[in-house]
Structure 1
Amino acid sequence: MDDIVAGLPPALVLTPSIRPVPAATVRAPSAGSRRGSRRGRYRSVVNCPTLWRSVRITLVEERRSYLGQFSPLGVAGRDPIPMTVEADCPFCEIVRRETPDTREVYRDEHVVAFFPVEPATLGHTLVVPRDHIPDVWSLDEEAATRLAHITLRLSHAVKSATEPEGLNIIQSNGVVATQTVPHLHVHLVPRWSGDGMGPIWPSKTSYPEAQKDDVWQRLRSECRKVGGK
C-alpha cells in the first residue's frame, strides 16, 4: 500500500475541497455523520494510513492558509494592506513594506516600529499604528490602548538595548508642534548627557496669572464633559 501511495501524484494528497481525492480511495460518509462530515469523509480512506496522514497534514496547512486570509498578519510571506492607507504617506509605505531599507524593529497586527532616517540619538524609534491615523484627535480609544501598550513594552526594549541615562516619549500633532509626517507616531528617544537633542522645554515663561486662570477654568469645564470631576 505504501508503494501505491508513493506513486500517487501530488494532487491526490491535497485538500479534497480544492482537489478532490478520487472516489475509489474514499468511502461515502454515513448518513449520521456530523455535518455530512468532512471528518467522516477524510477518515474513511480505505486501509491506507499513510495516505490519511498525508491528507491530514495537508488539511492542516490548507486550513492555516485559509484562516490566514482573515488574519491581520496574513499568510506567511505576505503582509496585507492596513484598513486605511494614504497613497503619499511615507509611514504607510513602511507599513506596506515598500521601503526595504527601513530599519524596522517591531511589527504586529496593529503597530509597526522603526528607526527614523535621521535619528536624534542612537536607538531613536518611531512607533506608528498600521492604519493611517493623522493625529491624536483622530485616534479612537481602542487603538490608543493598543498603541500605549506597545509603546510601554518597546520603551523597555530600548532601555535594554541602549542602556540610556533617560528616555523621552514624544508625540506631536500639527506642523506647529513639529509633526513632519501626518501619520500619528510616537518617538522613543533614549537620552544621554550631552547628546544632540538639547532641552525640549523653554527655560522660563511669564504668563500673567489671569491668563492661566482663564485657561484653567475653560479646560476644567471641557474635562468634566469627558468624565472628569
Structure 2
Amino acid sequence: MVTQPEPVRLLLVRRRGQPPGRRPGVVAHRGRAGREPDHLVLEHALIPEPDAGERDDALTGCVFDDVPRASRLVEDDLVVAVLDANPVSTGHSLVVPKRHVVSWFDATADEVAAMTRLVRALKLVLDDRYRPDGYNVGFNDGAAAGQTVFHAHLHVIPRYGGDVPDPAGGIRHTIPGRAAT
C-alpha cells in the first residue's frame, strides 16, 4: 500500500507593503519535487478560513485594521470612510471594508454594495464640509495599478475648479499619452 507523505506545514508571511500573489501557487509535499500532480497542494489551502484575514492583519500591520473611532467620517457594519493620510486634495477620503480583503475583486457582494452606499453618504459629508465642484472616485487594484496599501479601499477625491489646468479626461490621464480626445 502506497501512503501519501504529510504536507509540509507552512506559514505564509508577506513583508509589509509586499503585494500578495494574485494566483494561488503550489507547494510540494516533503521530499517531492512537486512535479507530480497528486503531490501538489494549493497554497491557499494551507491557510484555514475564516481567520486567515485576521492572521494576515497581524502579520502585515495593515494601516486600515482597527481604524480609531475619532477618524471615522461615516461607517456601517461592513465598511468605514476616513480621510486619506496623504491627500491629493482637500477632503480626499477612503472607503474601506472592515474585513481585511486585499482586492476589490475579492470583496463580497455585500461589501461592494456597502462601499457604494457609503460613497453616497460620504459625499454628503464632504459636500457640507468642503463644498467641492466635482469628484473622482476609484480604486487601484494590484501593484501594477498603483496599489501600495494591500487592503482594498476606494478613493473619493473631491475636485475644485482650477485645481488642475485642464481636467478634461479625468482618470483617463492615468497613463500619460493614452487618453482619448
TM-score, normalised to structure 1's length? Answer: 0.46
Measured in 2, the distance between the counterparts of 1:93 and 1:185 equals 14
Is 1:121–1:196's contact at 8 Å kept on the other side of the alignment? no
Structure 1 unaligned regions, length at least 5? 1-81, 208-229
Aligned length: 121
Q: Describe the shift of the 1:140–1:206 C-alpha distance in structure 2 as closer, same or farther (beyond 3 A).
A: closer
Return the match for 2:98 from 110, 118, 130: 130
The structure whose Rg is larger is: 1
Q: Which structure ranks higher in relative contact order (CA pairs < 8 Å, sequence separation ≥ 6)? A: 2
Change (3 A) 1:163 1:137: same
Structure-2 residue corresponding to 1:89: 62
CA spacing shift, 1:164–1:148, aligned 2, 3 Å: same
| Deviation beyond 6 Å, 4+ runs, structure 1 | none
| Runs of 5+ consecutive residues of structure 2 not aligned to the other structure | 1-50
Secondary structure of 1:117's aligned partner: coil
Q: Shift of residue 204 of structure 1?
A: 4.4
Q: 1:180: how far off?
A: 1.1
Mapped contact 2:79–2:115 kept (Cα < 8 A)? yes
1:171 paired residue among 123, 135, 139: 139
Q: What is the correspondence of 1:2-151 to structure 2 with a 5 Å cutoff? A: 84-85=53-54, 86-87=57-58, 88-94=61-67, 97=68, 103-151=71-119
Which letter maps to 1:117?
Answer: A
What is the distance in 2 between the residues matched to 1:205 and 1:84? Answer: 37
Residues 116 and 124 of structure 1 are in contact (CA less than 8 Å); yes or no, is this contact kept in structure 2?
yes
**Is this contact kept in 2: 1:83–1:131, CA < 8 A?**
no
CA distance in 2, matches of 1:120, 1:141: 29
The equivalent position to 1:201 in structure 2, one of 167, 172, 178, is 172
CA distance, structure 1, for counterparts of residue 53 and residue 74 of structure 2: 20
Q: Check whether the contact 2:71–2:83 (CA below 8 A) recurs between aligned residues.
A: yes
| % identical equivalent positions | 26
Note if contact 2:83-2:91 (Cα within 8 Å) is conserved in structure 1.
yes
Q: Partners of 2:82 and 2:147 in 1: how far apart?
A: 17
Q: Does 1:157 align with 2:125?
A: yes
The structure in which a higher percent of residues are helix is 1
